[in-house]
């Protein structure tokens, strides 16, 4: 038995309490012993005793006082960084036990961008809820255009359903993420069904340069693809009449017939806006834009999460022909 193992068993394993770690976390988040005591429904001396017990076991000071209140030391920061995973695994284990005892119950937290909410996500949720009606789904919008996924890495979300560009960015190719590709959902040039362009059989990209466009913000992957398409033809990038991430705004103004934009193809076929919009017959070179499920590699997936991923794959396979890429729609390859 190594000295490290002996120290853990004799000094830490038998004395370190998860309760004390949780108290430390609450004190740091609230910024004071008194506030933490009220949140925990404990007395302030009991909170202080728990912190003192941790400091005695670890042999280091965990908290400093400052004009702003109580601040964690570097030792407390290191302890709490690891404790996040401990608390999460404990919560997950309780969920797993409940699901194993009754596979119709559970809880799942999903992050998603707005563009997913208007296309594939509602169908997945409907299918999953039919199979597991007692599983509580918590869904939350993630910032559009961001590939950092902080809510996934800090374990706020169990899964994130998102669009990821190819080639994958450094944030997505990071060692701590799994990327489960569902299908390719490339961009297309879109106008309203009553637009003067809607009945044309063929349109040259150059004819659209001076049209009023709704564009994505400049620092986004979608904007870069539009700029790339026009520049590859030696054309100027169209001037934006409106700049927004919102697909609802995009669809509303494009449907009026005054604007042109680019949108993912699934919006036309499975989205709620499809009846108002039409893909224009334009030769628009576009790189793959994958719809994928992201999870943490170092986080054991609960049975509920596994069922949700399986359901998402089933929905993807049943999508109408011509929606997305048939090859990329298979569950493999798995990008990591």
**Are 209 and 273 within one domain?**
yes
Of the two residues 114 and 148, the one the predictor is more confident about is 114
pLDDT above 50 for 326: no
**Are 213 and 178 within one domain?**
no
Q: Is residue 111 part of a domain?
A: yes
CATH code of the domain in which 138 resides: 3.40.190.10
Bridge partners of residue 177, in order along the sequence:
296
Q: Which residues contact 31 (CB under 8 A, 6 or more apart)?
A: 68, 69, 70
Q: Is residue 9 part of a domain?
A: yes
Confidence of residue 29 (pLDDT cuts 50, 70, 90): confident
pLDDT (average), residues 138-160: 81
Residue 295: count of CB within 10 angstroms of its CB: 20
Residue 250 is predicted with a pLDDT of 86
- Tens digit of each residue's pLDDT (9 = 90 or more) over 264-293: 888 776 555 667 889 999 988 877 888 999
pLDDT (average), residues 124-137: 92
Residue 328 is predicted with a pLDDT of 38
For the question of whether the overall pTM of this predicted structure is more than 0.85, the answer is no
CATH code of the domain in which 23 resides: 1.10.10.10
Greatest mean pLDDT among 66-75, 165-174, 201-210 lies in: 201-210
Of the two residues 90 and 229, the one the predictor is more confident about is 229
Q: Rounded distance, CA 70 to CA 31, Å? A: 5
- Tens digit of each residue's pLDDT (9 = 90 or more) over 184-236: 888 899 999 989 999 899 999 999 999 999 999 988 888 989 999 999 999 99
Report how many domains make up the chain: 3
Cα pseudo-dihedral 6, 10, 11, 17, rounded to 10: 120
Structural domain span for residue 233:
187-279
Mean pLDDT score of the chain? 81
Of the two residues 306 and 98, the one the predictor is more confident about is 306
Q: Count Cβ atoms within 10 A of the Cβ of residue 110 and give its class: 0-12 exposed, 13-18 middle, 19 or more buried.
A: buried
Q: Is residue 274 part of a domain?
A: yes
Of the two residues 266 and 123, the one the predictor is more confident about is 123
**Angle at 318 (CA atoms; ends 314, 322), nearest 5 degrees:** 135
Q: Is residue 263 part of a domain?
A: yes
Domain end position, chosen among 279, 300, 322: 279
């Amino acid at each position: 038995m190594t000295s490290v193992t002996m120290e853990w068993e004799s000094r830490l394993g038998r004395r370190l309490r998860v309760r004390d770690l949780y108290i430390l976390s609450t004190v740091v988040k609230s910024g004071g012993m008194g506030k933490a005591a009220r949140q925990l429904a404990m007395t302030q001396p009991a909170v202080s005793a728990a912190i003192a017990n941790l400091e005695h076991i670890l042999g280091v000071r965990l908290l400093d006082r400052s004009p702003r209140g109580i601040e964690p030391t570097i030792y407390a920061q290191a302890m709490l960084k690891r404790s996040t995973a401990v608390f999460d695994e404990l919560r997950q284990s309780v969920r797993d036990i409940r699901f194993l005892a009754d596979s119709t119950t559970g809880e799942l937290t999903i992050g998603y961008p707005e563009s997913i909410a208007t296309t594939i996500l509602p169908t997945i949720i409907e299918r999953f809820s039919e199979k597991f009606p007692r599983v509580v789904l918590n869904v939350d919008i993630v910032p559009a255009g961001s590939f950092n996924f902080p809510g996934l890495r800090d374990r706020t979300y169990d899964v994130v359903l998102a669009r990821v560009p190819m080639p994958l960015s450094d944030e997505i190719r990071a060692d701590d993420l799994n990327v489960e590709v569902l299908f390719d959902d490339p961009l297309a040039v879109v106008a309203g069904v009553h637009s003067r362009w809607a009945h044309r059989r063929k349109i040259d990209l150059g004819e659209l340069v001076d049209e009023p466009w709704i564009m994505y913000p400049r620092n986004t992957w979608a904007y870069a693809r539009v700029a790339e398409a026009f520049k590859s033809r030696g054309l100027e990038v169209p001037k934006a009449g409106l700049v927004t991430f919102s697909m609802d705004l995009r669809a509303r103004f494009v449907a009026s017939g005054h604007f042109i934009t680019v949108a993912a193809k699934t919006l036309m076929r499975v989205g709620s806006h499809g009846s108002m919009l039409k893909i224009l017959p334009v030769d628009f070179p576009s790189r793959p834009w994958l719809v994928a499920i992201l999870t943490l590699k170092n986080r054991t997936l609960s049975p509920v999460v596994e069922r949700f991923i399986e359901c998402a794959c089933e929905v993807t396979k049943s999508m109408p022909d011509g929606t997305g890429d048939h090859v990329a729609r298979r569950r493999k390859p798995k990008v990591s």
